[in-house]
């Protein structure tokens, strides 16, 4: 399992720039949490990078993420990576019983939401307080595709305070701002 091969695999399945950016954001958050928890940063990052591998071509609950996970199994990716990816989809009812699985679930929706908030701020991700993110969470029309309950449940399952979790993920994304399509000044 190496990052370059995972990147090439993801790109071969995904043409959409916004979806690629989402997976890059989740990768960044996963790598940051791996460092914090003393886990394998490469494995955790690759899990984040590949979690929506099949979403562009197979977005339905009948197929996503199982089609992608079947491909990862064929390619020899570890079982814990595959189970974490299956576990990020609530409708599959796969237990999130590892730190890897809990973290992927906790950062998935939140990463996308934070990027949406950052794009609305002149200063982007710089000094993004949890208060600003939580205020936007109350606006149902803002980033309406993001499940707010998943964000809250993810932090709870991970055992971290929601505000701390938001600010931690925002800092992780800030490290990859340019790659995520954010230039200084928020909009990319």
* Global pTM value: 0.94
CA distance 161 to 76: 35
Mean pLDDT of the 122-151 span = 94
133 lies in some domain:
yes
Of the candidates 147, 48, 50, which has an alpha carbon nearest to the alpha carbon of residue 101? 48
For tokens 């990768």, what's the residue?
A: 27
Specify the number of domains making up the chain. 1
Checking if the pLDDT of 16 tops 60, the result is yes
Residue numbers of the domain that contains 67: 3-174
CATH number at residue 112: 1.10.3210
Checking if the pLDDT of 63 tops 60, the result is yes
66 lies in some domain:
yes
Question: Which residues neighbour 181 within 8 Å (Cβ) at sequence distance 6 or greater?
Answer: 17, 21, 188
38 lies in some domain:
yes
Mean pLDDT of the 120-144 span = 93
69 lies in some domain:
yes
187 lies in some domain:
no
pLDDT classification of 187: cutoffs 50, 70, 90: very low
184 lies in some domain:
no
**Predicted pLDDT of residue 183:** 64
């Amino acid at each position: 399992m190496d990052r370059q091969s995972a990147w090439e695999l993801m790109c071969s399945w995904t043409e959409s720039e916004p979806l690629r950016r989402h997976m890059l954001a989740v990768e960044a958050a996963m790598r940051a949490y791996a460092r914090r928890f003393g886990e394998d940063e490469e494995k955790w990052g690759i899990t984040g990078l590949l979690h929506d591998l099949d979403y562009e071509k197979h977005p339905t609950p009948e197929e996503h993420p199982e089609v992608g996970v079947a491909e990862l199994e064929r390619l020899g990716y570890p079982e814990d990576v595959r189970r974490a990816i299956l576990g990020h989809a609530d409708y599959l009812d796969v237990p999130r019983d590892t730190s890897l699985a809990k973290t992927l679930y906790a950062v998935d929706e939140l990463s996308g939401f934070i990027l949406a908030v950052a794009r609305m701020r002149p200063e982007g991700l710089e000094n993004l307080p949890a208060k600003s993110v939580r205020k936007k969470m109350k606006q149902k029309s803002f980033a309406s595709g993001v499940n707010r309950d998943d964000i809250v449940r993810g932090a709870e399952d991970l055992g971290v305070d929601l505000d701390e979790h938001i600010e931690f993920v925002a800092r992780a994304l800030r490290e990859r701002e340019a790659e995520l399509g954010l230039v200084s000044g928020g909009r990319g």
